[in-house]
Structure 1
Amino acid sequence: MAGSNLKAGGRLVSVVIPCYYSELTIEKVVTMTRDVLVSKGYRYEFVLVNDGSTDGTFDRIRSLCKDNPSIIGVNFAKNFGQHSAIIAGLRYVHGDYVMLMDDDMQTHPSQCGLLLDEIEKGEHDVVFAQYPQHKEALWRRLGSDFTLWTMRVLTGRPKGIEASNFLVMKRFVSDEMIKYDGPYVYIQGLMFRTTHNMVNVTVKHFEREVGTSGYTLRTLVRLWSTVLNFSMVPLRLASIAGAVLGLLGLVWAVLLVVQKLLDPSIQTGWSSLMVTIILCSGIIILFLGLIGEYLGRLTMTVSKTPQYVLKEVIEDGGDEDA
């Protein structure tokens, strides 16, 4: 890839930024991040992925690419989600280190150096930003805490590690992640099955400068459900629940028979029978739905449902049709 900054000394850092309605912030994010990288002696490249924004976001990306050949612009045909945008960007990186960050100035460029200083020690493969104070709504924070807990249980995330989308990883991790071609992408899940050699670094969480988060409750639930692509734990829980219920049913049946033998006048309990039927039926339907979700995702994978559809790619300051 061409670019005057690539002739300088030092390691090359590839910065991947998924962009969603960020025409007012993306130029500032790129400029400030570039200044931090240059001041620390790094060479740089940026991969900016427009995730279906219909405002002037890609026009701004196009302008940045024209001014600096070290910036690559990727334009999606429609919105595919942040994690699909990230994995698309990872397929264009060339760096020794790969940095992921957001486009809204909450993952602030001034904090990049802290992550890079830690990865330079060579002891870890991935360095996640960790926020002592979050600048987000309470419901988002509670939802994030629940997601982090379930993801640790279901995906085998190392205990004590707080995952985020602000991180730096070594190139081999990125190279392994982009081998995944399934339609449901979960970036942290791909990392956890690649390496457990991770660490957190505390950084400051800034306020969003413009607009509001593109995540709604619906999109957060959809993102959480992507864990089904990376874990067999829910199916194993279904098997365990079925075995436990079967055992409890057997014990209950024996107790009822003994009770009836000891006291023939006892009437069979209609209420307890209805409660048992409703409880067991509910659990059966729940796990049938879970199995159906797995089968549906398998069908989508077999039918080659795309992770994303490229509309346009800009490299070396020039346009290239996808």
Structure 2
Amino acid sequence: MNISVVVPAYNEVESLPELTNWIREVMQKNAFSYQIILIDDGSNDGSWEKIEELNQTHPEVKGIKFRRNYGKSAALNVGFAAAEGEVIITMDADLQDSPDEIPVLYKRIKEEKLDLISGWKKKRYDPLTKTIPTKFFNAATRSMSGINNLHDFNCGLKAYRKEVVKNIEVYGEMHRYIPVIAKWAGFNKIEEQVVEHRARKYGTTKFGFSRFINGFLDLLSIFFVGKFGKRPMHFFGSMGVLSFLLGTIMALWIIGEKLYDIANHIKIQREVTDQPLFYIALVAVILGSQLFLTGFVAELVSRNSAHRNYYQIEKEV
């Protein structure tokens, strides 16, 4: 099978038939063998009944229904597990992504031997309340991940080599940072494709302001887990040692200053415990000890994890 199209859907009953027919037309025109996987993320507007209808009339349409709304990341993760195509295309169900982009994405993945292509909606039809925070997060993600050639990490229209989606896990709000997850898993051939962004035709957006806060927290999680997931002591321990040493140096400075005054018969102006530096040193020592112990506990948890020796293996002979 050439292509699997994975489409998460939440209350998109009006757009599903049009999107499905559009995808089918593109696939038939290019003689692709394909499947369309529609994941109903706990919709309550009749989306699942529509998916069942589409499945009855078009066997290439597969449906998966969640009991409740879990979010886009969960839908993508389940869709990736069900995908059988050589190339997996993801797109949103709201008709803002154009299926006409599929042939170009498929061709680039195959001919350029890429792992992942992320769409870039260079011209957007979203309000400023959505585009400005998006630009901020894209800039932050580029800086933290080192993937400097992508402008739009959150674009729903992406193309993947099959091996990529079978070796990554998407959860929480991590769908925004799939290129980062793929890079941490060892898939470094990541490129960008300018794609058309269409104005929403039906319904309203399902994302609120909380997605920006959750997205930022997930970015920090990805950065930490990707860099220190198998060696947490390197992160917590180094910070703990640094804080402990800083506190110790300040404490020794205070003690040395006190001894110097005594040795030279200098009248002591104030006690050690009256100096703000004493309490700063005390906090630094305590904080350093706690960070070190946190790293020690995290290391124990990591070493006892079932995935402690799970590594990505590309080839064997």
TM-score normalized with structure 2 length: 0.72
Residue 204 (structure 2) aligned to one of 188, 207, 211:
211
Higher relative contact order (CA 8 A, sep 6+): 1
Residue 170 (structure 1) aligned to one of 141, 161, 182:
161
What percentage of residue pairs aligned between the two structures are identical?
A: 18
User: What residue number does 2:42 align with?
Assistant: 52
Structure 2 distance, partners of 1:112, 1:160, is 21
Judged with a 3 Å threshold, the aligned counterparts in structure 2 of structure 1 residues 128 and 258 are, in CA distance, closer, same or farther, namely same
- The 5 A counterparts of 1:73-84 are 73-84=63-74
Question: Which piece of structure 1 moves more, 134-143 or 33-42?
Answer: 134-143
- The 5 A counterparts of 1:81-120 are 81-120=71-110
Which consecutive aligned stretches of 4+ in structure 1 deviate over 6 angstroms post-superposition? 278-302
For the Cα contact (< 8 Å) 2:247–2:282, is it kept in 1? no
Q: Which amino acid aligns with 2:196?
A: K
Question: Which piece of structure 1 moves more, 127-136 or 84-93?
Answer: 127-136
In angstroms, what is the RMSD of aligned CA positions? 4.0
Residue 232 (structure 1) aligned to one of 222, 225, 228:
228
Q: How many residues align?
A: 288
1:185: Cα distance to partner? 8.1
For the Cα contact (< 8 Å) 2:7–2:91, is it kept in 1? yes
Q: Which amino acid aligns with 1:171?
A: K
For the Cα contact (< 8 Å) 1:19–1:103, is it kept in 2? yes
Structure 1 distance, partners of 2:205, 2:293, is 37
Q: Which runs of 5+ in 2 are unaligned?
A: 308-317
For the Cα contact (< 8 Å) 2:3–2:34, is it kept in 1? yes
For the Cα contact (< 8 Å) 1:158–1:196, is it kept in 2? no
1:51: Cα distance to partner? 0.9
Question: Which piece of structure 1 moves more, 37-46 or 285-294?
Answer: 285-294
Larger radius of gyration: 2
Q: Which runs of 5+ in 1 are unaligned?
A: 1-10, 303-322
Structure 2 distance, partners of 1:251, 1:95, is 61
2:68 aligned with 1:70, yes or no?
no
Residue 114 (structure 2) aligned to one of 99, 119, 124:
124
Question: Which piece of structure 1 moves more, 120-129 or 15-24?
Answer: 120-129
For the Cα contact (< 8 Å) 2:6–2:89, is it kept in 1? yes
For the Cα contact (< 8 Å) 1:98–1:168, is it kept in 2? yes
2:189 aligned with 1:197, yes or no?
yes
For the Cα contact (< 8 Å) 1:186–1:226, is it kept in 2? no
For the Cα contact (< 8 Å) 1:17–1:47, is it kept in 2? yes
Structure 2 distance, partners of 1:136, 1:195, is 31
For the Cα contact (< 8 Å) 1:115–1:129, is it kept in 2? no
